[in-house]
């Protein structure tokens, strides 16, 4: 595994930099696996969390009026209550505590959940709660006229949400979504408390073997930094691509028809 | 006499204790072009919004072909797909191109096939002179162009009647003309229209009936020649003199 670094193999490290290289070589596969697991949990967790956030955000935006039937009003009321309780709970407690409670709680009721699955679950729930607020804000930022334009042509409130409001809200909150992903990438480090073998756990183990914690954590700091830096650049490109160009081509085939 | 498309019966609307519409009665017959005029705050927009159910009246009824439009979402959707609306602020979908603005609702509400929706969009965009701009986004258009697209978008639904709420009030003066020209041409095609407007010349020349509203009441409802030349009510006279002289 350490083959890639053969040309600068260090056997007797002295300085911190040498220790970093040494540890990286010696535990290369551990760092790689930690990185992959960190990416795996943060990518899956973020995307499922986004989906959950959109659903909760839309639920929180539901409106009932006096004309709706009672069962519908009750149902919507319950959904909104559950949604806001969930959002509050997860926004007002630390992720590290949520991880412990969810992992040990689920184990305690007899379900043999793996640390990774619990880690993903915590990430999803946490992301969903923050995302719900972001989505709600995004929906609120869309002018009411956009909806009225669709309603006035007979579009149902749900279809209006899907085809008119959410696509516009999505664009507005895209930077915030990118931010959430980067936060998650870093926040997976707390999952070491439930024994998920992600990057932080790798550094902890490696550092412990030689009592070289400073150097070991520096190694993963570099990895986190590079990952976040690269993803950030990618997101900026995606945003630019989604915004599209400011130009449009006149459809000359219809020009003479004026 | 032919059956009315729209009927408004004894319709009142209050916001809190502010009575904005008071016992309005009106009917809209096929091919009529009704202009509603009146000073600011007299309730014209609220009346149009009650007609297409964006506001809920406090009492009274809205009828479509003699049937009450009930407060059931699916019935409201169905009804709205036949009663178009053009807004003062255009309300074009900002994220869609001109073409997609004109195709979204024909696709998702009327469930037309793609080529049919496309055909309709092009037909009506040509009608308002906006076909060359199909690839543009609303933000890339002038106010007058946006309003013409909004009119084309509404026409794509093949509405039985089209409601206009001050379609030219948000426009710079030099763009008012292009929109009014389109509307005059629409009127000549026999489309049934209800137009809230401050453009007195348009009301006088194009409407088949002009309604003057004041403080939530329909004060006068008459053919334009009559209303503009021999207004019965002193309030109408006062309003018109302010407009036609000032
Ligand atoms: N959503 C609302 N809540 C409270 N009051 C409202 C609301 N909408 C309208 N009003 C009030 O109702 C009255 C009539 O408003 P409306 O917009 O129908 O007038 P209008 O005749 O269209 O005026 P304009 O020519 O300025 O457009 C106004 O006094 C307005 O303040
Ligand atoms: Mg108005």
Residue-wise pLDDT tens digits, B5-54? 999 999 999 999 999 999 999 999 999 999 999 999 999 999 999 999 99
Residues in chain A with CB shorter than 8 Å from the CB of B77 are: 154-156
**pLDDT at residue number A257:** 46
Q: Give how far A131 is from chain B: nearest CA, Å.
A: 22
Closest listed residue to residue B177, CA positions, set B150, B208, B202, B195: B202
pLDDT value of residue A242: 84
CA distance A240 to chain B (A): 15
Ligand nearest to the CA of B43: 1
Q: How far apart are the first and last CA of chain B?
A: 39
pLDDT for res A123: 97
Helix (H) or strand (E) segment spanning residue B196: strand B192-196
What is chain B's Cα-based Rg? Answer: 18
Atom of ligand 1 at shortest distance to CA of B55?
Answer: 1
Q: Please, which pLDDT band fits residue A63 given cuts at 50, 70 and 90?
A: confident
Residues of A in contact with B131 (CB under 8 A): 251, 254, 257-258
Stretches where chain B sits below pLDDT 70 are 1, 245-246
pLDDT at res. A34: 93
Rounded to 10 deg, the angle between the A28-61 and A115-140 helix axes is 40
C-beta neighbour count of B58 within 10 angstroms = 14
Give the per-residue pLDDT at A1: 46
User: Which of B93, B129, B157, B185 to probe by mutation at the A interface, max A CB count within 10 Å?
Assistant: B93
Per-residue pLDDT, A2: 47
Q: Nearest to residue A233, comparing CAs of A183, A186, A185, A178?
A: A178
pLDDT confidence band for A237 (50 / 70 / 90): very high
| B92 contact A CB<8A | yes
**Residue B232: predicted pLDDT:** 92
ipTM of the complex: 0.94
A148's tokens:
């009225």
Residues of B in contact with A65 (CB under 8 A): 56
B166/chain A closest Cα distance in angstroms: 15
Residue A250, Cβ neighbours under 10 Å: how many?
13
pLDDT band for A5, please (50, 70, 90 cuts): low
CA distance B203 to B44: 14
Query: By C-alpha distance, which of A182, A193, A215, A217 is closest to A203?
Result: A217
Residue B150 alpha carbon to ligand 2 centre in Å: 17
Residue A109 in 3-state DSSP? coil
Name the residue of chain A whose CA is nearest to B76's CA.
Answer: A154
Indicate the average pLDDT of chain A.
91
Is there a contact between B137 and A248 if contact means CB atoms under 8 Å apart?
yes
CA A31 to chain centre: 22
Nearest C-alpha neighbor of B195 from the set B14, B81, B38:
B38
């Amino acid at each position: 595994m350490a083959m890639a670094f053969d040309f600068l193999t260090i056997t007797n490290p002295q300085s911190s930099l040498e220790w970093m290289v040494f540890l990286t070589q010696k535990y290369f596969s551990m760092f790689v696996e930690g990185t992959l697991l960190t990416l795996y949990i943060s990518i899956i967790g973020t995307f499922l969390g986004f989906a959950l956030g959109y659903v909760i955000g839309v639920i929180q935006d539901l409106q009932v009026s006096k004309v709706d039937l009672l069962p519908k009003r009750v149902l919507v009321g319950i959904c909104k209550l559950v949604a806001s309780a969930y959002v509050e709970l997860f926004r007002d407690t630390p992720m590290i505590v949520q991880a412990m409670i969810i992992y040990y709680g689920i184990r305690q009721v007899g379900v043999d959940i793996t640390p990774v699955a619990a880690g993903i679950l915590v990430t999803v729930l946490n992301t969903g709660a923050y995302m719900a607020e972001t989505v709600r804000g995004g929906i609120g930022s869309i002018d009411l006229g956009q909806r009225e334009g669709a309603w006035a042509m007979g579009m149902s409130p749900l279809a209006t949400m899907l085809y008119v409001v959410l696509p516009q809200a999505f664009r507005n909150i895209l930077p915030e979504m990118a931010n959430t992903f980067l936060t998650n990438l870093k926040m997976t480090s707390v999952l070491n408390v439930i024994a998920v073998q992600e990057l932080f756990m790798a550094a902890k183990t490696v550092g412990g073997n030689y009592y070289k914690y400073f150097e070991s954590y520096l190694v993963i700091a570099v990895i986190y930094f590079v990952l976040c830096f690269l993803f950030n650049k990618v997101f900026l490109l995606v945003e630019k691509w989604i915004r599209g160009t400011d130009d449009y081509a006149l459809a000359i085939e219809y020009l003479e028809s004026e | 006499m032919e059956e009315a498309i729209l009927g408004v019966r004894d319709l009142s609307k209050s916001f809190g204790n502010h009575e904005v519409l008071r016992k309005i009665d009106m009917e809209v017959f096929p091919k009529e072009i009704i202009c509603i005029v009146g000073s600011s705050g007299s309730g014209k927009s609220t009346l149009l919004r009650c007609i297409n159910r964006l506001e809920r009246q406090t009492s009274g009824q809205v009828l479509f072909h003699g049937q009450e439009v009930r407060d059931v979402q699916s019935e409201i959707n169905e009804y709205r797909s036949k009663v178009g609306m053009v807004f003062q602020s255009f309300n074009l979908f900002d994220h869609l191109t001109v073409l997609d603005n004109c195709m979204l609702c024909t696709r998702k509400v009327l469930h037309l096939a793609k080529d049919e929706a496309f055909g309709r969009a092009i037909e009506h965009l040509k009608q308002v002179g906006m076909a060359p701009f199909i690839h543009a986004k609303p933000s890339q258009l002038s106010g007058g162009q946006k309003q013409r697209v909004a009119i084309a978008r509404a026409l794509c639904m093949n509405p039985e009647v089209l409601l206009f709420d001050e379609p030219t009030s948000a426009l710079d003066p030099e763009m008012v003309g292009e929109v009014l020209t389109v509307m005059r041409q629409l009127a000549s095609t026999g489309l049934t229209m209800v137009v809230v407007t401050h453009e007195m010349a348009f009301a006088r020349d194009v409407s088949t009936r002009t309604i003057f509203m004041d403080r939530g009441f329909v004060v006068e409802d008459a053919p334009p020649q009559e209303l503009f030349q021999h207004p019965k009510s002193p309030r109408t006279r006062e309003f018109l003199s302010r407009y036609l002289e000032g």
